[in-house]
A = this chain, B = another copy of it.
Amino acid sequence: METIIKMKKGIKVKNPILIVGLPGIGNVGKLVAEHLRREFKAVRFATIYSPHFPHQVVMLKNGGVRLVNNRFYLIKSKKPSGNDIVLLTGDVQAVSPEGQYEVNSRIVKFFKEDLKGSFIYTIGGYSMGEPTLVKSPRVFANATSKEVVKQFDGDGVVFHESRGLIWGSAGLIIAFAKMSGMGGICLMGETSLLDMDASAAKAVLLTLSKKLQLDIDTTNLDKIINKTAKAIKEIEKQSGMDTMQPFQPGAEGKSGERPSYIR
C-alpha cells in the first residue's frame, strides 16, 4: 500500500488557503483545527491514508471502524472573490523520517496542484522553556520568505524569537511550500507544555481570526482553559508545591533537543 489521497467527486475549491493542525506539542494545532471545523461546520472532502501512519484502526461510536488518517475539510468563502479555507487535521502524523518527508511533500503537492492553492498556515506549539504557567501566550512564527515575514510581523505575531528546530508536519509543510514557490507561515502558540494547551490554541485562533477576518467564538476553549487552571491550583494546594517545573531536556523526545521544536 502506498500513501494515497482520496477525494470526493464534484468538490469545487476556490482560491483556497490551507490551515494545518495536526497532533503535536500541547496539541495546539489539533485544537485550533478542530475548533475551526466545528465553528464553521467544515465539510470533509478528502482523506490521506499512509503506510507511514501507525498500524491502527479507530473504533467508532456507531460500531464501525476506520483507519487512522489525515482529513481535509472545506469552509466555503461567503464572498464571491474570497478564499475558501481548507483545514487539514487528523489522528496522527507519520511515524518515521522517511514517512514524514513522503506524507508532507504529498500534502503540499496536492494542495498546490490539485486544489490550486497558494498559501499555507501550519499551527504548532512552542515553549520558551520557562518554569511557570504561561499567562498570556504569544504567537511565534517562521515563514517561507521575507515578504511573508513583513506581511505578518508586529501584528500580534512574533518573529525572530523562536530558535532551534521544528519537528514534523508544522515545519516540513512550510519548508516544502517554500521549495515549491508557495507562501506559508508556521504559527506557534506559546505553550506551557500541557497535554491540551487550550490557552495557546486560543492565542493562535485570535491571530487567525484577525488575518482571515473570521468571526470566531472561543467560548469552548475558555471552558477548557478555566478547567485546566482550576486543576493546576488544586494540585498545587494538595502538594504544597509549584507544579510548573523547569523544562527537563529530553523529556519530550529521545533526541534531547531544546524545547524549541513542535510537531
Interface residues of A (CB under 8 A from B): 1, 51-68, 94-102, 104-105, 141-146, 149, 153, 159-160, 162-168, 171-172, 174-175, 178-179, 186, 255, 260-261
Is A55 a contact of B162 with CB atoms below 8 Å?
Answer: no
Partner of A51 from B101, B153, B168 at Cβ < 8 Å: B101
Chain B: minimal CB distance from A221 (Å): 24
Q: Known pairs A51-B100, A65-B144. 6 more at Cβ < 8 A?
A: A1-B102, A57-B172, A57-B174, A60-B142, A64-B142, A64-B178
Return the chain B residue nearest A56 by Cβ: B165
| Pairs A–B under 8 Å by Cβ, sample size 5 | A1-B101, A55-B100, A63-B153, A64-B143, A65-B178
Write out the residue numbers on chain B whose beta carbons fall within 8 Å of the beta carbon of A142: 57, 59-60, 63-65
Which residues of chain B are within 8 angstroms of A172 by Cβ–Cβ distance?
55, 57, 67
SS of A interface (majority): mixed
A171 with B61: in contact, given A51-B102, A102-B51 (CB under 8 Å)? no
